Copies of this chain bind each other. A is one copy, B any other.
Amino acid sequence: MPRVSIRGTQMIHSPIRSLLPYARAAKEQGVHVYHLNIGQPDIKTPIEAIHSLRTYDQEIIKYGSSEGSDELRKVVRDYYRSQVADVDIGDIYITTGASEGILFILYSCFEVGQEIIIPEPFYANYIGFAQVSGVVLKPIASHIDDHFGLPSPSSFIAQITDQTKAIFLCNPGNPTGNLYSKEDLFEIGRLVKEHDLFLIVDEVYREFCYDEDFYSVLRLEELEDHIVVIDSVSKVFSACGSRIGFVVTRNPAILDNILKYAQLRLCPPMIGQHIAVSCFANRAKYLESVRAEYNRRRIFLFERLSQMSGVKCYLPKAAFYIMTELPVEDTSDFCKWLLRDFRLDGATIMLAPGSGFYLSGDIGRNQVRIAFVLGTEALEKSMDILEAALIAYASSELVDTLAVNDHQ
């Protein structure tokens, strides 16, 4: 029997994967599992987008342009001009989700073995994208004590080698809920200019900022050739399944390279693009109400977590995540235990263990990411469960310790 590839065998699994059998088993027992572990919001997709399917008038679902449909690129351009930065249609490529966009950028800008400096914790799938493309991620630490704010310029500089090609940021941050300020980005802008690096920024949570205004790196001057932005309709319009993302850059050499990868996969999903156009139709009103809803949840979650003994947290500035520290040794064990052993009124919660968002060894072992993608009532029950679970887990650990001591 022929052997499959080593690179495939060594590909990382989704970090949540080891928990899935436990979640499945719990559900089979009739336990309700509150999913706070994933970025799948319960918010409705704009009704205009769903309605646009009903009036779809094509008789043939044809291939479209590899760059994405002109109609969608125009709508995105207009949105960018009004909300983000002044870009042209030619600066925008539609991709099959932000995921594909990230891969296209890595192939287009990096040789195998070249390095990207990235603050951690970061979105776990970046590790997989780097693995597929042979690019090396060099993490630098950000810390819960300063709410995962931007690491100092010197910590970036300390990581620069002759293989360094870019700095990568996720702004607003997944899993941190952090937001980099205009001043932060000016500082990074100076760095990439001075060291001749690319600056790649994942801005898919841009529309969910609660206290401060968002500032896009696309507004930084004299950095046109350095900057690439990743974007998507998935989170903004709660349309994750449409698989529509964007890459935005003014660097013609990057656009040239990406186009070749884009042509290889022919075109992005056509019905997804059709929907995406309608997502933008009533954008301002839709986003106002979604933002208000996430804001309520954010404040509620922060207040509840703050009241729990031994829990370290902060009020996230943006996105719909909070990375919080729990009074347990290893949140992977705790998350398994929640699914396998703990129930409150026939329900439990699923969280994302923090270690999946770090490349550097054990950091984050006592952290979890909580996604506030459920309504207030479900969040309230979830926090009741977490509070009770932490108490029960502490005593179960105590029992385990006593049992171990007993045997010694």
Where the two chains meet, the residues of A that have a C-beta atom closer than 8 Å to any C-beta of B are: 1-9, 11-14, 17, 38, 40-45, 49-50, 53-54, 56, 58-64, 96-97, 99-100, 107-112, 114, 125, 128-129, 132, 165-166, 196-198, 225-226, 238-243, 251, 253-254, 256-258, 260-261, 263-272, 275
Chain B residues whose C-beta falls within 8 Å of the C-beta of A254 in the assembled complex? 4
CB pair A1 B61 closer than 8 Å:
no
Q: Give how many copies assemble into the complex.
A: 2
Listed A/B pairs (8) with beta-carbon separation below 8 Å: A3-B253, A5-B108, A5-B114, A8-B257, A45-B61, A50-B59, A128-B260, A271-B271
The answer to whether A265 and B99 touch (CB under 8 A), given A44-B60, A53-B53, A63-B241, is yes
Residue of B nearest to A265 (CB): B99
CB pair A2 B198 closer than 8 Å:
yes
Q: Give the docked Cα–Cα distance between A98 and B277 (Å).
A: 26
Q: Give the docked Cα–Cα distance between A40 and B58 (Å).
A: 14
> What's the minimum C-beta distance from A175 to chain B, rounded to whole angstroms?
16
Contact of A13 among B13, B64, B260 (CB under 8 A): B260
CB pair A4 B59 closer than 8 Å:
no
> What's the minimum C-beta distance from A327 to chain B, rounded to whole angstroms?
31
The answer to whether A8 and B107 touch (CB under 8 A), given A2-B226, A54-B54, A265-B97, is yes
Q: Give the docked Cα–Cα distance between A100 and B261 (Å).
A: 12
Q: Give the docked Cα–Cα distance between A254 and B1 (Å).
A: 12
CB pair A225 B1 closer than 8 Å:
yes
CB pair B96 A1 closer than 8 Å:
no
CB pair A269 B96 closer than 8 Å:
yes
Give the residue among A11, A225, A253, A275 with the most B Cβ atoms within 10 A: A11
Q: Give the docked Cα–Cα distance between A109 and B268 (Å).
A: 26
> What's the minimum C-beta distance from A289 to chain B, rounded to whole angstroms?
15
CB pair A4 B109 closer than 8 Å:
yes
Chain B residues whose C-beta falls within 8 Å of the C-beta of A128 in the assembled complex? 260, 263-264
Q: Give the docked Cα–Cα distance between A300 and B111 (Å).
A: 50
Q: Give the docked Cα–Cα distance between A268 and B241 (Å).
A: 8
CB pair A11 B241 closer than 8 Å:
no
CB pair A107 B54 closer than 8 Å:
no
CB pair A267 B241 closer than 8 Å:
yes
Q: Give the docked Cα–Cα distance between A198 and B263 (Å).
A: 27
Residue of B nearest to A57 (CB): B50
The answer to whether A61 and B275 touch (CB under 8 A), given A1-B196, A243-B96, A269-B96, is yes
Chain B residues whose C-beta falls within 8 Å of the C-beta of A261 in the assembled complex? 8, 11, 132
Contact of A270 among B56, B241, B260 (CB under 8 A): B241
Residue of B nearest to A242 (CB): B61
Q: Give the docked Cα–Cα distance between A251 and B17 (Å).
A: 21
Q: Give the docked Cα–Cα distance between A84 and B353 (Å).
A: 43
Contacts A240-B266, A242-B271 aside, 15 further interface pairs with beta carbons under 8 A come to A2-B165, A2-B196, A2-B225, A5-B114, A7-B112, A8-B257, A9-B257, A11-B260, A11-B264, A14-B264, A38-B63, A45-B61, A50-B58, A53-B54, A132-B264
CB pair A5 B109 closer than 8 Å:
yes
CB pair B96 A265 closer than 8 Å:
yes
> What's the minimum C-beta distance from A41 to chain B, rounded to whole angstroms?
8
Q: Give the docked Cα–Cα distance between A388 and B371 (Å).
A: 66
CB pair A4 B253 closer than 8 Å:
yes
> What's the minimum C-beta distance from A153 to chain B, rounded to whole angstroms?
18
Chain B residues whose C-beta falls within 8 Å of the C-beta of A5 in the assembled complex? 107-111, 114, 257
